[in-house]
C-alpha cells in the first residue's frame, strides 16, 4: 500500500477515536434523570458497532471505557482497511482501461 492509503486508514482510526470520545462526553454530561431518546441510543450503537454488539449480547458485562475506545478505533481502522483494499482493487481496473 502506498503512503496515501495508510494515511487514510489512520484517518479512519482517528475518526473512530473521535466518535468514541464524543459519545463518552455526551453520555457523561447527559442528564441522568431524563431517559435517552431511542434515536440517540440507536445512533450511538450504529456509530460504535462493536460496542453495540457487546451491549446487545452481554448487557450485564462490565467493560471499561478504554477497552471500548480501543475497540472502536480498531473497528474503524478495519473498515478503512477494507475500503482502501476495494479502492485499490477498482483503481487497477481504471488504470488498465
Tell me the CB-side half-sphere exposure of residue 90, using CA atoms within 13 A. Answer: 5
Cα(8)–Cα(92) distance, integer angstroms: 18
Cα(1)–Cα(93) distance, integer angstroms: 16
Cα(37)–Cα(74) distance, integer angstroms: 27
| Per-position pLDDT tens, the chain of length 97 | 578 888 999 999 999 999 999 988 998 888 888 888 888 888 888 898 887 788 778 888 887 778 888 989 999 999 999 999 898 888 777 665 5
Domains identified in the chain, total number:
1
Listed residue (68, 70, 79) closest to 45, CA to CA:
68
Question: Domain residues for 55?
Answer: 3-96
pTM of this prediction?
0.79
Amino acid at each position: 500500500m502506498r503512503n496515501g492509503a495508510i494515511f487514510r486508514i489512520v484517518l479512519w482510526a482517528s475518526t473512530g477515536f473521535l466518535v468514541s470520545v464524543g459519545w463518552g462526553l455526551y453520555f457523561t454530561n447527559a442528564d441522568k434523570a431524563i431517559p435517552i431518546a431511542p434515536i440517540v441510543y440507536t445512533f450511538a450503537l450504529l456509530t460504535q458497532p462493536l460496542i453495540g454488539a457487546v451491549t446487545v449480547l452481554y448487557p450485564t458485562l462490565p467493560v471499561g471505557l478504554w477497552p471500548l475506545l480501543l475497540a472502536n478505533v480498531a473497528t474503524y481502522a478495519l473498515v478503512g482497511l477494507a475500503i482502501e483494499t476495494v479502492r485499490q482493487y477498482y483503481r487497477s481496473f481504471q488504470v488498465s482501461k
